[in-house]
Amino acid sequence: MTDHTPRIVRTDTPQGPCAQLHGRWGAAELGSQAQWKSVSAQLQQHPAAPTLAWDLRELQWLDHVGAQLLWNHWQRAWPEALACTDGQRDMLERVAEFTTTPPAPTPWRLVDQIDQFGLQVLHGLDHARHMLQMVGQLALDLLRLARAPQRGPWRDVSGHLYRMGATALPITALVGFLIGVVLAYLMSLQLRQFGAESFIVNILGISLIRELGPMLAAILVAGRSGSSITAQIGVMRVTEELDAMRVMGIPHSFRLVMPRTLALALAMPLISVWTTLSALAGGMLAADIAMDISPAYFVQALPAAVKIGNLGLAMAKSVVFGAFIALIGCHWGLRVKPNTQSLGQGTTASVVTSITMVIIVDALFAVAFKNIGI
């Protein structure tokens, strides 16, 4: 039976050593990881040298994969002694013709790194300037809306309020409930060691109402609604609807940015409270199962454990979260270029920027209001 395994046999001839190739050197054989490692190891044992001859005439099959492997092993230069058929030589010549030499690596220079850092700083300042312009224009649009509320885009606000708020309730409730269950089970393992099971109400109440509830809801909304805002406006850029609005004299800020910002700023506190209640329900259920703390005791002890100032702080944070998520989504949507690649990059950048902003603003609120409510 014929052996098709690609291999190299070293023979000694009167002219010197010769590497003779056998088997099938094709994509089907070399595509196997084991065969590829075996052939690579054999090639390393036969480095390209002027005194080493190569004989390809015993090969059963040679395609462009095997020819490329040999050409790279020969360091992209013809060996001094090569015996092959005319078809094999034609294939090697085609591989040599279309093989490009990789560019030499650019040496590391401190000046280039400083230049790249400066470009990144200027790029970030450009984004900050655009965001500042959007905030200023939003303030002017809100004054215009206050002067003539009957001419405001209330239908757009209502539609966005439903899509960003009402449709987000199921997923936020599910995630919040599961987070509450997980937190309660993890804390029960520690509190039971010290006989302090009753303090789970304090820990769950403060952590969920003040911090985790609003931030979890904001992160979910940033990934869900923030990306949607960027995609919607980005598609309008690709289909040239933004240019058509500018030609017709319809301001982008008043009809695109302001309705989304208002809707998300109004919906975010409600979503935050909804997520917090779901998380507390999950924690209450887990506490009842794991530590025999009844829901009645949980509900009775919660108002004494968590002051009302925590809820007010959470609502205030949520308004800021919602407004910033909408502004960031609109910012990246308006900066999308008229191609699909830019649309995907803008949507990704919008989600990452929004989530980062949520965490930074939450940290700023925690530092600024550290003496409130606790």
Residues 295 and 149 in one domain: yes
Report the CATH number at residue 57: 3.30.750
Burial of 203 (0-12, 13-18, 19+ CB in 10 A): middle
Residues 67 and 130 in one domain: no
Range of the domain at 82: 7-98
Q: Is residue 107 part of a domain?
A: no
Domain end call among 98, 126, 153: 98
Residues 153 and 298 in one domain: yes
Alpha helices in 169-305 (DSSP H): 169-194, 200-206, 213-221, 227-238, 241-247, 252, 258-291, 295-305
Residues 213 and 302 in one domain: yes
The pLDDT of residue 102: 66
Q: Is residue 262 part of a domain?
A: yes
Q: Is residue 110 part of a domain?
A: no
Residues 83 and 232 in one domain: no
pLDDT digits (tens, 9 = 90+) for 166-224: 999 999 999 999 999 998 888 887 877 777 777 888 888 888 988 889 999 999 999 99
Of 200, 167, 198, 172, whose CA–CA distance to 185 is shortest?
200
Residues 53 and 94 in one domain: yes
Mean residue pLDDT of the chain comes to 87
Asked if 178 contacts 279 with a C-beta cutoff of 8 angstroms, the reply is no
Domain end call among 54, 70, 98: 98
pLDDT digits (tens, 9 = 90+) for 151-175: 889 999 999 999 999 999 999 999 9
**Of the ranges 7-21, 261-275, 303-317, 338-352, which one carries the lowest mean pLDDT score?**
7-21
Number of domains in the chain: 2
Residues 126 and 91 in one domain: no
Residues 237 and 179 in one domain: yes
Distances (CA, A) of 66 to 21, 97, 350: 11, 15, 46
The pLDDT of residue 2: 65
The pLDDT of residue 306: 83
Domain end call among 65, 98, 131: 98
pLDDT for 373 beyond 50: no
Q: What is the mean pLDDT of residues 312-325?
A: 92
Residues 75 and 36 in one domain: yes
Burial of 324 (0-12, 13-18, 19+ CB in 10 A): buried
Burial of 134 (0-12, 13-18, 19+ CB in 10 A): buried
CA–CA gap between residue 187 and residue 192 (Å, rounded): 8
The pLDDT of residue 355: 94
For 152, the enclosing helix (H) or strand (E) is: none
Q: Is residue 111 part of a domain?
A: no
In the numeric block, which tokens belong to residue 53? 């001859």
In the numeric block, which tokens belong to residue 59? 């090969």
Residues 51 and 142 in one domain: no
Burial of 64 (0-12, 13-18, 19+ CB in 10 A): middle
Q: Is residue 268 part of a domain?
A: yes
Output the pTM of the full model. 0.70
Residues 18 and 151 in one domain: no
For 230-265, letters b (16+ CB in 10 Å) and e give bbbbbebbeeeebeeeeeeeeebbbebbbbbbbbbb
Q: Is residue 204 part of a domain?
A: yes
The pLDDT of residue 352: 94
CA–CA gap between residue 241 and residue 255 (Å, rounded): 13
State the DSSP code for 211.
I
Residues 234 and 93 in one domain: no
Q: What is the mean pLDDT of residues 341-370?
A: 90
Of 26, 31, 94, 95, whose CA–CA distance to 61 is shortest?
26
Of 266, 316, 259, whose CA–CA distance to 145 is shortest?
259
Handedness of CA 256, 236, 344, 137 (dihedral sign): negative
Percent of the chain residues topping a pLDDT of 70? 97
Q: Is residue 72 part of a domain?
A: yes
The pLDDT of residue 296: 87
Q: Is residue 297 part of a domain?
A: yes
